[in-house]
Amino acid sequence: MTRIDKIMSKKLSKDIYKKAYSLMCTARAMSDLYEENKEVTSKYVHATSKGHEAIQLAVGLQLTENDWVAPYYRDDSILLGIGMQPYELMLQLLCKKDDPFSGGRTYYAHPSLKREGFPKIPHQSSATGMQGIPTTGVAMGIQYQEKEGLTKPKRGEEPVTVCSFGDASITEGEVAEAFQMAALKKLPILYLVQDNEWDISAHASEMRAVDATHYAKGFGLKTYTIDGTDFTKSYETIQHAFKEIREKRTPILIHAKVPLLNHHTSGVRMEWYRDDLEEARSRDPFPKLKAELLANGFSKSDLVEIEKQAKITVENDYQKALKAEDPNPEDLFSHDFAPTPILEEKGDRAPKDKEATVMVDSALFAIKEIMSEHPESLLYGQDVGKRLGGVFREAATLAQTFGYNRVFNTPIQEAFIIGSTVGMSAVGLKPIVEVQFADYIWPGLNQLFTEVSRSNYLSNGKWPVSCIIRVPIGAYGSGGPYHSSSVESVLAQIRGIKIAYPSNGADLKGLMKSAYYDPNPVVILEHKGLYWSKIKGTSAAKTIEPSEDYVIPFGKGRIALESEDSDNTICIITYGMGVHWALNAAKNHKGKVEIVDLRTINPIDEDLVFERVNKHGKCLVLTEEPYNNSFAQSLVGRIQEHCFEKLDAPVYVMGSENLPAIPLNSTLEARMLPNAEKVSDKIGEILAY
């Protein structure tokens, strides 16, 4: 040990200080260079870590390849700390083809990484605070794997998850769901809150009654409050917290106070509104680290040399990045979905000597088979656990069969239920989750749109989210305004998710299985009125239970009724309850009606639809939703465009009345919804056209 090492060993090793200083110089040089070249670098908006570097490097330098991290947009020093090169970060700054995170699809310091020897980074969005739930999902997945014995990390190498936030982002409601679950389940996660006391231009004094430390304590989280400009203190606190999380598998929140020394982003400049810059600059971590190194045996010339090297690297990397290739227009189309192995219908749809079973049980049996075969599958949602097995008993007995680690209740947190699948899937699990009623999917919709649906596309194919989201849906006899709604049009607007809407048990089972093997997010809409075939005219939803290996590919419709006549016939394109209304209505028009059951809403079987419409020349698209601006109405548009020359009548749409809610009173409900009689009348009208 040299004399210098002996002095340093009181604090951190010389090597760590050197790395930290070199990277802090690099981060500064990058931030300065971006500013000097703002005409070029600000083509795409970006933010830098200036002022936040010490705490960020303390984290980045201690993450290992076993760990997971969710940096936010100001965390370019975390990225340098884990070993990303300035050149690589600049490829994203300039939206180049070889941007390692997204191929030019998303902003600077919005990482996603799956690279050997590096900590893993799931897709990071720009939505403030929204990373909390997916990242807590990672920690929940790690815990599940350890409890089930699917992973057996060596002592001291247990994975840690880091979720980084700005101070203002934790006022988002969804962050509370994440904190709640981490504390409740004792998840191995470190929440890092970098408190610069600024939102964009709104100051902490306008934004919060208590700071991150006091807020987190309310959830039962252990906290450390530190000066995030003090590198040694930051490093030691992170070291201590990581050790604690690795050993005790427990969540911790570190609240690090830092000054923001750069613009909020390249587009929102500090000179417009900051009145505290002098005070902020007095807390700059850079001179502090410099002084610390000088006091610990480094010479001035050592530091000058490190700084010089950093500047040269940054300048060279910038010149190289400027010349790097841009994406091609055709690159736009890759990775909307990851390829699925299920491309055709397989297995026995109606095995002999079996009796018909209700649709709700077909789903239950499908999940039982999946969970028996695949230890990486688990089921969670509100009330799906041991006592009830779902409010529709659609998960009955599963907790007893598979244990409470694999089937469990969640708090009332639709955002967490949906968004956590991003993290669960990232660690290699296959979560099956449930939203209790379609009416309550709205609090989860943000996670579905912002995080789940875009992960694969914006990570350039690295992080598809494989999950099944079960959603009981539809009107089933005086369910009223908050237990009857249809939501498929809103879901169909979200690109990057698949949607099934089966009308019977066999389809539900085959699609559930197919969804399980699909590497993409799938929403399965399960009509409550069809679960037990209790509603008059829905007995066709009861089917023989298909064989265990039965699968139905997404995007393949089914002819639910064939027409017999050769002229003046109509085809009805529908799904879910619409299939049953149409089947009953068709009895009044013998031989005249063909029914296409779409089975999946995204992808949609366009080939089948156009072929059948062309054959009949008359078509009704039937939905349970209010029809204006609906998925059904947009399908009508597509049909007119593709089948115009073969049409003998306008393509009609029929659905519920265009009103905000389905009233509770049964007379009003009946007036609101389509039914077999109304459909029959409409068929008569179209046939007479």
Ligand X SMILES: Cc1ncc(C[n+]2csc(CCOP(=O)(O)OP(=O)(O)O)c2C)c(N)n1
User: By CB under 5 A, is residue 198 in contact with Mg ion?
Assistant: yes
Of the candidates 62, 169, 225, 485, which one interacts with ligand X according to CB under 6 A?
169
Q: Which of 52, 123, 335, 483 is catalytic?
A: 483
| Site track 110-149 with ligand X (rule: CB under 6 A), x = hit | ----------------xxx---------------------
Which residues lie below 8 Å from residue 286, measured CB to CB, with a gap of 6+? 24, 28, 53
Min separation Cβ 446 and ligand X, Å: 8
| Per CB under 6 A, 19 contacts ligand X | no
Which string of x and - marks every residue 155-174 that binds Mg ion (by CB under 5 A)? -----------xxx------
The string of DSSP codes covering 639-663 is: HHHHHGGG-SSPPEEEEE-S-SS--
Question: Segment contacting ligand X (CB under 6 A): 198-206, 347-355, 470-478, 598-606?
Answer: 198-206
Q: Which of 48, 135, 136, 196 binds ligand X (CB under 6 A)?
A: 196
Q: Does 74 bind ligand X (CB under 6 A)?
A: yes
211 touching ligand X, by CB under 6 A: no
CA distance 477 to 575: 19
Structure-token pair, residue 21? 């200083």
In the complex, minimum distance from the CB of residue 267 to Mg ion, in angstroms, rounded to a whole number: 16
AA letter at 543: T
Which of 586, 663, 646, 568 minimizes the C-alpha distance to 622?
A: 586
Residue 34 lies near Mg ion (rule: CB under 5 A): no
β strands within 40-154, DSSP E: 68-70
129 closest CA partner among 182, 191, 80: 191
Q: In whole angstroms, how close is the CB of 128 to Mg ion at the nearest point? A: 9
Contact 289, 231 (CB under 8 A): yes
Site residues for ligand X, 486-515, by CB under 6 A, read none
Whether residue 483 lies in the annotated active site: yes
User: Which of 267/591 has CB closer to ligand X?
Assistant: 267
- Shortest Cβ distance from residue 406 to Mg ion (Å)? 39
Selection from ligand X, Mg ion, none that 514 binds (CB < 5 to 8 A by kind) is none
Question: Nearest to residue 557, comparing CAs of 496, 499, 607, 599?
Answer: 599
Binding ligand X (rule: CB under 6 A), the pick from 167, 244, 317, 545 is 167
Measured CA to CA, the distance from residue 179 to residue 213 in angstroms comes to 12
Would you say 165 or 554 has its CB closer to Mg ion? 165
Near ligand X by CB under 6 A, which window of 163-171, 178-186, 356-364, 468-476? 163-171
Contacts of 414 (CB under 8 A, 6+ apart): 435, 440, 441, 442, 443, 444
Closer residue to Mg ion in complex, CB, 168/289: 168
**Site size toward ligand X, by CB under 6 A:** 14
**DSSP structure class, residue 214:** H
Question: Left if phi > 0, otherwise alpha if psi is -120 to 50, otherwise beta: which for 109?
Answer: left
DSSP secondary structure of 542-572: -EEPPPTT-B--TT--EEEE----SSS-EEE
CB atoms within 10 A of CB 382: 21
Interacting span for ligand X (CB under 6 A) from 150-158, 166-174, 231-239, 242-250: 166-174
Q: Which residues bind ligand X (CB under 6 A)?
A: 74, 126-128, 166-169, 196, 198-200, 260, 264
Residues with catalytic function: 483
